[in-house]
Amino acid sequence: MLKGNIQVRSRLEGCALKVAISLILGIFIMLLTGSKIFAGNLGLIEPHVLNRDLSGWVILDARPRSEWIAGHIPGALSFSWEDYTRTDEKGVPYRVWSPQELATALGKMGINENTPLVVYGDAEKSWGGEGWDCWVLEWIGHKGPIRLLAGGIQSWKSNNYPIKDGAEKLSLRPVQYKFKLESYLDISTEELERQKSNVVIVDTRSALERFKGRIPGSIHINWQDFYTGKERRPLTPDALKKLLQGHDVDLSKPVVYYCTGGIRSAYAWVVHQLAGLPTARNYEGGFEAWKRR
């Protein structure tokens, strides 16, 4: 009996040692490569799940405000990239507001860093803005769950769930949003220039845009290839891996997505994250920043 206990304890100690070694190696590789283990609370939510528990979430409509006014999920708040970007001092358009400004805006909407959030769009009219919303929230360190509505507004409507039109006025109690910037999720022009040989750069713009100018060495995958079907659902993990591998994207290297100003590329980024691949980065400045460097 004593011998058996000793053997069991020895096996457990051996397993614990292997786990410890794996963790140490993982941290060492992370520090050596500059990569990051993704620890966000990002996921998909189906329309029927959301409809059963509308009161359990704060819902963000990522489409242009005019689309939100025309018809939105009841209680949804308008949060379009068009309203939270600006042209910076260098003349680069579509630059995201500062983390403090975003935190203040979210706080005024009654959202704090722990609020459970559902984001939706329609991919096309929002130009992938639902991906941008998710990226922004992860970038400022949102701690609560973030769910992307699978199929967006199309899926919601196809299930005949309720739609509210007009500029719905909600009673919002302002709160404080405490951000903690996850700077790794963005990449500056200067860093991208330094790291070009160590990353895979994916251009998510159209073929015409790419013809007019591109980042040297980048791989072209149109952002519209990252979703599928009439409901424009994000690619499944297997479909995404097939897409990336089909374009010779080396997934052993960090992937940087870019477009004109970080919106469509953020959609590609969120599909990448949902697939459980190693953390990618969004070049938020996009080609507008690159060509002005």
Specify if 1 maps to a domain.
no
Domain shared by 145 and 193, yes or no: no
Domain shared by 150 and 224, yes or no: no
Residue 264 or 32, more confident: 264
Look up residue 203 and give its amino acid.
D
In this structure, the strands spanning 117-120 and 227-228 are unpaired
Specify if 19 maps to a domain.
no
Number of structural domains found in the chain: 2
Domain shared by 189 and 136, yes or no: no
| pLDDT 10s digits, 73-105 | 999 999 999 999 999 999 999 999 999 999 999
Is the Cβ–Cβ distance between 271 and 254 less than 8 Å?
A: no
Specify if 163 maps to a domain.
no
Domain shared by 116 and 211, yes or no: no
Secondary structure (3-state) at 190: helix
Domain boundary among 141, 158, 175: 158
Residue 263 to residue 30: CA distance in whole angstroms:
27
Domain hosting residue 281, numbered range = 184-290
Res 222 pLDDT > 90: yes
pTM of the model: 0.86
| pLDDT 10s digits, 22-74 | 333 333 333 333 333 343 599 999 999 999 999 999 999 999 999 999 999 99
CATH number at residue 225: 3.40.250.10
Is the Cβ–Cβ distance between 281 and 185 less than 8 Å?
A: yes
Residue 70 to residue 39: CA distance in whole angstroms:
36
Specify if 21 maps to a domain.
no
